[in-house]
Structure formats: C-alpha cells, structure tokens
Structure 1
Amino acid sequence: MTVPSTSELRASIDGPVLLSGEDGFAEEVAAFNLAVSYEPQIVIGATNAADVQTAVRFAAAAGRSVAVLNTGSGPARDVTGDAVLITTRRMSGMTIDADRRTARVQVGVRWGQVVAAAAESGLVPLAGSSPEVGVVGYTLGGGSSVLLGRKHGYNTDHVHSIDVVTADGEFRHVTRESGGLFFTKAPDELRSSGAVPARTRPAVRPGVHARQPDRVRPAVLPTITNDPTQPGASVEHFALLDDLTPEALDAILAEAGPDSAGRLTLVDISQLDGAFANPPAVPNAVGRRDAGYALFALTVLPPDVRGVDQNLNRADADPSVVRRVYDDATYRRLQAIKAEYDPANTFRWNHNIPPA
C-alpha cells in the first residue's frame, strides 16, 4: 500500500492536516485536561466520516497507530511518537426527532447542545453532569446520568445505532439487530475495539417531559453539579463500590478528609442501584450492574503542569485495570471483536483491550 505524501493527504481531506510545529498545530491538539499531553507527528481535523476514513487508511498505509480526540476529553493517555491524531470536534451536526423522541448526533456534539435542543421539544436526555462533555464519548463509557440514571439506566442501553469507521478504513452502520460489533458498547468500546465513532443515535425517549417543570428544568440540567467549563489540569480516578460501609467511608476520609494528608481535591459518590441494575434489552458490555455506588476522585493540578508524575499516574488506563472492568466472558468476547476488527491494535491510545 502506497503511503500518500502530506500534500496528497491534504488534498484528500476537507479539514486541516497539520504537522508538529506548524501554525495551528498546538491549538488543534489542545485538550480539556491540560495534564494530558498530545504530541503526535501529525493531526487531522476531520469534518465528516470520509475524512475519518481517509485518515485511518493513511495511518494503516504508513504503519502508524491512531488516536482520537473528540470534544476535548480525548484519549486517557499521553499521545506521542508516530501516532496519527484525528480530531472530530468539527463534526457537530445534530437532529432531534420529537415524534420518536430520539437524537441523532455526530461525534463532536456536546451534551449542552443536546439538552438545549431537546428542551425545545419538551424532552430531557440522559445527560451527564457537564455541558462540555461529548455525547459519544460519554455514551461509549456507559453514560450514567446523575439526575435520571437511577430511573432510566445507562445511556448506552438506549442506543439505536452507531456509524463507525473501523481500523481498515471501512464505514460501518451497526444497529441493535446487527450484533457483533454493536455488542462492544462499553467503556471506550469502539475506540478499544478498533473503531472511530462517526455518529451515534442515543435515545432521548427515557426523558422527562416539560409538563413536569417543578421536577426538572431542562435548561439547567447539565450544570447541576457545577462542573468546570474551562480547561484545566487534573487527574481523575473512578471506582465502583458494592456498598458504602463504615470501613469504606473511613478509608475515603483518610485520603480526602479535612485532616488527611492526601492529594485528592474532591471525591464524588453517586448511588447506583435502581435502573442501573437492570439488564439491557440488547446485551452490551457494561458490567458490574450489581454495584451500589460509583466513586469519582479528582486531584486538581497547577495550571502549568504538563503530564503527571508517577504518584499521580492515570492508573485507570492501565491494561490490568481495564481488565478488571469486565467479567471473563465479556472480556474474551471484546478481545475476539478486537482481533477481528483491529488485529494490529491500531486504536491503542485509550482504555485498551488488546486483541486475542
């Protein structure tokens, strides 16, 4: 396979193609979390699915890996070396079908956009706690709404279809009825199993209608927890708890309490149970539905930090930690899907699941 030159690549991509050090490169690779460093040799700003296909095929021809930076949260690991970084924030198209109570969004859409558009039809989506979080990345991670999740479950369980570009550069439309690749909806699933999300269709159906204004004000839904809306440096960790026992509370306070010497800035504990525990109508890879609580811990770093030291590493992206997310059968199936769609592990800058 012939590797296109940079000029040939630029001629075949509608969006920008920038090499390291060129004007606009730093802005193109900028992420929301400033503690993560993105230093690929080349970045491609996709504006449509065809751009994504071309970028992935270019990487394959050159024998390079692929990383995807969506709306800013991006890969969980620093991206360096010969990686081809694809940014998708320009793909921000969205439609709301009020009759079917669904939303069709491109990969660059953020929850703030969906909440505002859905509110015009009297609908509320299963959004997270921040208007800046991308819909696709959130959904691929399971998607647990702080307000509506215990009533309606994970956002992932309500996805109707997904358009993806796999590691061979092929465009694929997968639905609930397709099976196979669609099963991999789970933490970083399409990115881990070797596909770049092009568009997704999360359901708005399990929402709250605007005839109940005393219960929910859709316009303020994403800001309830006062999440930051400006980039900053931080390290995040996530965990699931079977129960919130006195021993667990003592351990948390020992690390994050007012008298602790720990480095945690905040700890957020959300109750699960309810609809989170319900099995999905169509099987997917979101597991541990018996967990009682979700724990999120964050350490805010100084503004000038780039990268993190070993005492603040992003352990959640370590393959051994990723392995513990899944039961044995699910993990083996994900590895088999990875082997089928991305045997070279081209998509590896993520919560990676190596091919079987």
Structure 2
Amino acid sequence: MASVTLSDLRKEYGDLTAVDGLSLDVDDGELLCLLGPSGCGKSTTLRMLGGLETPTDGDVHIGGDAVTDQPPYERNTSMVFQSWALFPHKSVLENVAFGLKMDGVGEDERHERAREMLDVVEMSGFADHDPTDLSGGQKQRVALARSLAIEPDVLLLDEPLSNLDKRLREQMQLELRNIHDEVETTFVHVTHDQNEAFTLADRIGIMNDGQIEQVGAPREVYDDPVSLFIEEFLGDTNLVDATVTETTETGVVADTALGTEAAIPTGDAAVAAGDELTVSFRPEELDVERADGGASDGGASITGEITDVLYRGSSVRFYVESAGEHVFFEQSVGADTDFAVGDTVAVSWDPDDLLAFAADGDRVGGGGS
C-alpha cells in the first residue's frame, strides 16, 4: 500500500488543456473514485499517476517518493483497463502470472502467486482454461487478478466495468469492493457512473473541466455539494430560478418561478436582494398529498396538476405543473397512495432541505446553512 499525492497537475495537448492544476491526496489503503462526465480529464489524471502520460506541469508522489519523471515500469503501480487484453494463446493461470514472469520471478513462485490471486477473485477453478471460453465478468476477474499478482502499491482502474451489462456490472462492483477490503491495496478507480462510485468509494473526487470540484465521502458530496454542477451530476433534482427579495438574520427570502416564496438559510454567504439564484428541490425531500385545487398559500408549498406519469421499474415519477413550471416527485411501486394524470396535489418541503446556487454555480445556501 502507499499514499498518493498529486500537486498542481496540468496536461496540455496543443491548445487543449485536459487537466488544469489538479491537486489530490489519496490515503494509504483507500479506495478513491474519480467521478465525472466524459472528457473531464479523469482518465488522463489516472494515466499521469501510472506514468503513461507525462504531466505538462505539476508533481506526482507515491508513498512519499517523487515519481513524476519515472517511466511506468519503475513505479510500483498496475492498471486495469476497459479492455481485458488477455493473451488468447495462454491459459488463465499464465495470463495472471505474466507480469511476475516479466519481473523475473521463477515459475513455481509466480504460479503459486497467480493461484492465490485467482482464489481472491473466485476464479481458482479456471486456472487451466482458455480465456476465450470465459464470460465478460470472468475475463474482468482474470484481468484484475493479473494486476494484483505483482503486488502493486497502487492499483489503477480505468472504467474496468464499463463493458459489462447492468446486472453483471452491479455484481462486480460489490465483488471489487470486497476484493479491496481483502487485499488492502490503495485503489484509484475512474468512472462516469455515479452509482458505481457510491457503491465502491471510501471517498469520491468529482471532476469537471480538468479540475477537482469536490472530494468527500459519498453521502457528503450528495448531501452537501459545493456547486450546481455537482448537484445536477449526482442524481436527479428539480432546479428552479429564483430572485432574492429580502435578507433575514438567518438567510434570504426568494421569489421562485413556481410562484411561491422560498426561505433559504445562507450562513456566511454574501447574498443580497436582487441576486438571481438557482434553487434545488430534491424529489426525495418533497412531501406530496392530494389537494382540492386551491392556490398555494405562498409558503413552503405549491399546488399543481399532475401532467405526466413515467414508470421507471421500481419507482414511478410524477410531473406536476404549477405556475407554468414543472417539478417531479417519485413513489416506489406499490406505495399506498397512487396518483394519476389530472390529479391536483399539494407539494411541500422543509426549507432546510433546499439548496441554492449563485449565477456562477457556487453554492450559497440551503441544507440548514
């Protein structure tokens, strides 16, 4: 195991800046996920950590040692890629032992180590098999065992589960988490899948436009995002425009596009009357009940009509129109109360559950600030 420190990393390709002044610390033995949309620089960051790309500027330290200028073979790291890249003419055992062979380890020792790793990934019964006979999930386990066999200080995983179907991908996420706990190696895992990051990570580093926007435990970054980008990227939410009308001792009052006021705690954030905000209402924080169709009282609630119902498997999403705007809420399938298109409902919320963001996307309030 080893800690990782990335300091002011920058990577340019001509006029394109893929990574822009990124700094990040990964603890010894931690499983950290780099999460972000395609093109945000997460895979480039991983490749600079592994020595497959040379930073334009900045430093990489592994276990306290500067490795920025070292080639990949001089760093004790190993990478698992999207493609399994198994040798079709070698057995599963020989594939897993290949890295050890390149390191000059004797046949008996490398085969023993390879069998240990196949046991860790629950593939010990396939040692003599041809890789072409394996399923996608089995091939991914073999690729993981091959990377672990060389006992890297840091294991780098570049979206290794993206080629698997949904059910197998979810199964492998749980298995990968268990493998990390067993081998106690530092993992840095790149993904664009929020659910995968939430399942795997001790902490998540959320990337946008070549920079880290926030690092924290899964619940922390979901419940307490620092920017509108993170609020939108992590799950689904209702975003409503608002204008600050007055300030109070604890925050501000804003008129929303829903035709109602929202009281928003803002803490120490500098917000003034006239400021334009974006207010986020998470669907799981909304309370919904049938209404008689009367207008809302201007408080922390609206009334509106259900215009669309979207079946989503284990849940049903309901869209409500109020003052020409739409918000949605969700119910589990089989819930006691069912709603239908045309129903009039009252939607209410706790002001402490709202989050507010300034025009530049920075978080300025909500969440009990």
Q: Give the TM bin, normalised by the shorter chain.
A: under 0.3
Q: Which has the higher strand share?
A: 2
- Which is greater in Rg? 2
